[in-house]
Each structure stands twice: as C-alpha cells, then as structure tokens.
Amino acid sequence: MSARVCALILTLSALCGSTAASGVLSSPTNVRLTSYNMNLVLRWDPPEGAAGGLVYTTEYKTPVTSYRVGCVNTSHLECDFTRLNISIIEYGIYTGRVQAQVGAKRSGWVESRHITLDKDTIIGSPNVSLFSNGATIDVSIKDPVFVVSELRNVYIFATYNITYWKDGQVEKAKSISNKQQSRVVLSELELWTKYCVQVQINTERNSKPSEPSKIVCESTTSREEAPWVAAIVTFVIMAVAVALVVLAVVYRESISHFLCPKDALPQHFKEYLQAPPTSSTYLAMQYSRPPKEIYHQISIVAEEGRPLEAGGMSCSKQPDVRAGGELQEKRERLKSTEAVKKS
C-alpha cells in the first residue's frame, strides 16, 4: 500500500514540476558589465532556445545603493547606462543584472560581476601626428576622449610608451618610456629616411595599457628648419594686416577721395569762364533796347456780315448796321495797309 502511495506522489511531483517549469522563461546567458573609455555597458546573450519577441530589463547598483532601473523592455542585447542620464562616478564600483520577458513570462535575474570603473575600463588608442624637421621628428600625442571626465583627471600620472623604427625594420624598433609630455622629439635620426611611430598609454591604477595607436610614418629631410621661423613669419603677417586695417579706418576719407576723386575743371578754364565777355555783338545786344514791333489789329469773320464776336449781334438776332459799317471800314484800312507793304 505504501509503495503505491509513494509512486503516486512521485508521479504528481513530476507533473507539477514540469508544469511549473513550462511557465518559467529561461534566463539570459554570458551577462557581463564592460567599460570602454569610462563608459558603463551591460551586455548579455539571449536564453538558450529563446523564441522571438523577447525583451529585456536591466538594473545596476553600487556597494552603497540598491538596484536602480536601467533599460526597460529593450530588444537589444546591451544597455549603455552612461547614455541614460545616470550619474556615473569615475572611481565607482558597479554591478549589473538583466531579466528576459516575453508576454507575461519572465526569467530570473542574472547578475554580472562587479567592475571598478577606473581600474577595469579599457583605454582607447591615442591619436598620433608627426612633423618632420631635418634629422628630427616631432611626435604629437592626443589622449582619447573619455565619456566620464578626462584621462589626465582620472590618471594623473599617466605616461606614454613611444615605439619607433625605420620603415620595413620593425624588428629593430626602439622605445621611449615614461614620457608624460604630449610632445616628444625623436632626435639623431638618419636624413632622408622614413620612420614609423606607435604609442601606448600606461597608468598606475589600470593594470592594462591602452590600445596601441595607429602606426604613423614620416620621412626626415635634408636640413633643419627652425620652428620659430614660421612663428615669426605668421606674427609679421598678422601685424601688417592689423596695421592696414587701422590705417584704413583712420584715413578712410582721404583714401575715399583718392580712389574716387571729384571732377574738377583746370584753373585756366575757370578763369576763362568767369571773365566778362568782350564781344561787341554781345555788348550791343546787352545794352540796346528791343525794337518796337509794329502790328495791326485784325478780326476774323465767320461769314459775310457776321463777325465771330458775340457782341456783334443784337438780342433780336438782327445784324447791327453800325457794326457792319465799322467792319467795312476796317476792311478798307486792311487793304490800304497791304498795298503799302507791297509797295
């Protein structure tokens, strides 16, 4: 009897266990908290045999704070906490965790290992530029850009490891270590020779050196050119330009008159035009009186016996006999005048 009861209990337990397991979602795998140039990113792999439509929720914490929400319902396999307007401290210790979800099903939280930001961040490669000056090459180094703070603020005693060699002879490379200056001069080089340079950054707090810079090459020349010559030439050109601008502002009116002069007559033309006229004809016309004009008054008649003037008709519209006599007399005077002119 007891054996049957035990078998029944085991069967029920197996069924309940499989039912519970079927309602639980598998958790993400390979969860890791990473940092590159002082950022803070949580990365993970999807659950084994995961179906489509999975979303993830992430959280982070420090040793003195509880978990805080990071990315919510993201379909990506990473969450950059430094892009979420979260206050990240360059010397802080952080831990992250992630949970998968599809529909109403959720997986368990999977926690990452903690990292110390300044000790575990991967420092990117510096930017290197070269300038050839005779038998020397100037190496100019620019630090990588950090997401939080700056390299020299986080690593005060950071140094540069400079490796250089003749092009094609990397096995004979030489190194200059523990340089804190961002500008280093490689001297005693052969003339007309191409050299290649690569730089890495070393820090005391971070055990790993930075990523190496790109290999940059430059050739030496035949003679040294003093670097101060270019500075003096630049200064002289700028000084002359400033002086020309000041002179143009001060003497702008004189320069304007010189470039755009006003039209002016020669002096002898002015004297000739201003002198009084001496022509006898002009003087005679100026002082003589205008001749008296002789003229005769005439009237124009529209038709025989009817002048144009309205006053020549009476109210009864009959011609005025006296007006007709005067008209006849005027005609005779006009004829006699024309006869005199013809003679």
Report which of 79, 72, 60, 80 is spatially closest to residue 106, judged by C-alpha positions.
72
d(CA 31, CA 121): 17
Per-residue pLDDT reduced to its tens digit, 126-174:
999 999 988 899 999 999 999 999 999 999 999 999 999 999 999 999 9
Q: What is the band of 313 on the pLDDT scale with cuts at 50, 70, 90?
A: very low
| pLDDT of res. 252 | 76
| pLDDT of res. 139 | 97
Kindly tell me if the per-residue pLDDT of 219 is higher than 90. yes
Which pair of structure tokens corresponds to residue 66?
């509880």
Task: Name the residue type at position 79.
Answer: C
What is the β-pairing status of strands 159-166 and 194-202? antiparallel
d(CA 213, CA 201): 9
Q: Are 67 and 61 in contact (CB under 8 A)?
A: yes
DSSP class of residue 126?
Answer: P
Q: Which of 2-6, 80-84, 193-197, 219-223 has the lowest mean pLDDT?
A: 2-6
| pLDDT of res. 233 | 80
Q: Are 160 and 113 in contact (CB under 8 A)?
A: no
Q: What is the band of 50 on the pLDDT scale with cuts at 50, 70, 90?
A: confident
Is the model more confident about 117 or about 224? 117
Average pLDDT, the chain: 81
DSSP readout, 128-174?
A: EEEEEETTEEEEEEEPPPPSSS-HHHH-TT-EEEEEEEETT-GGG-E
| pLDDT of res. 154 | 95
Task: Name the residue type at position 242.
Answer: V
Q: Which residues contact 201 (CB under 8 A, 6 or more apart)?
A: 123, 126, 143, 144, 151, 158, 159, 160, 161, 209, 210
Burial 89-104 (b: 16+ CB within 10 A, else e): ebebebbbbbbbbeee
Per-residue pLDDT reduced to its tens digit, 227-243:
566 678 888 898 899 88
Q: What is the band of 314 on the pLDDT scale with cuts at 50, 70, 90?
A: very low
d(CA 217, CA 191): 14
| pLDDT of res. 304 | 55
- pTM, full prediction: 0.59
Which whole number is the average pLDDT over 269-284?
Answer: 68
Q: Which of 27-31, 101-105, 270-274 has the lowest mean pLDDT?
A: 270-274
d(CA 132, CA 201): 23
Give the neighbor-by-neighbor strand order of the sheet with 194-202.
174-179, 159-166, 194-202, 216-219
Q: What is the band of 300 on the pLDDT scale with cuts at 50, 70, 90?
A: confident
Which whole number is the average pLDDT over 113-123?
Answer: 97
Q: Are 18 and 11 in contact (CB under 8 A)?
A: no
